[in-house]
Amino acid sequence: MRPYRAFPIGKPKKSENFMYGWYYKSFTTGKSFIIEDLTNHPMRFTKVKDGFREVDPATVGQQIGQQDINKREIYEGDIAKLTENTYGETELPINCVVKWNDKGFYQLWRNGLIHWTIWKEDYYHNRGYRKGLEIIGNIFENKDLLNDNKKSP
DSSP tally for the chain: helices H, then strands E: 0, 11
Helix (H, G, I), strand (E, B) or coil at 146: helix
Q: CA 45 to CA 24: how far, in whole Å?
A: 14
Q: CA 33 to CA 84: how far, in whole Å?
A: 37
Topology, domain 62-151: SH3 type barrels. (2.30.30)
Kindly provide the b/e burial profile for residues 54-73, where b requires at least 16 CB atoms within 10 angstroms of the residue's own CB. bbeeebbbbbbebebeeeeb
Averaged over 90-100, what is the pLDDT?
78
Given a cut of 50, whether residue 151 has pLDDT beyond it is: no
Q: CA 49 to CA 34: how far, in whole Å?
A: 12
Predicted local confidence at residue 119, as pLDDT: 60
Higher pLDDT, 89 or 12: 12
Q: What is the pLDDT of residues 7-33, one digit of tens each?
A: 999 888 998 999 998 899 999 999 999
Cβ proximity of 93 and 79 under 8 Å = no
Looking at the whole model, is its pTM more than 0.85?
no
Domain spans in the chain, listed from the N-terminal domain onward: 4-58, 62-151
Q: What is the pLDDT of residues 58-83, one digit of tens each?
A: 999 999 888 888 999 999 999 988 77
